[in-house]
Amino acid sequence: MPADTGMEKPTASPIAGAPASASHTPDKPRSASEHRKSSKPIMEKRRRARINESLGQLKMLILDALKKD
């Protein structure tokens, strides 16, 4: 397992939840609900990645504890 530096991989957008590309026209601002809808898949992907990382850590802790018993 590689050492964790605590840094997330950089995303296409420097601001979490911000759209990675300018798909909307600049003269029409996005509403809050449109922004939430567009950022939901990104947020869900990050949430699932955090869960999977935590499950991996938990697995290692349990396996190590079982070996000591």
Residue 13: phi and psi, rounded to 5, are -120, 135
Q: Residues 44-57: pLDDT tens digits? A: 999 999 999 999 99
Determine the Cα–Cα distance for residues 52 and 58; give it in Å rounded to an integer: 10
pLDDT digits (tens, 9 = 90+) for 18-69: 555 555 555 666 788 888 888 999 999 999 999 999 999 999 999 999 998 6
So where are the chain's domains?
34-68
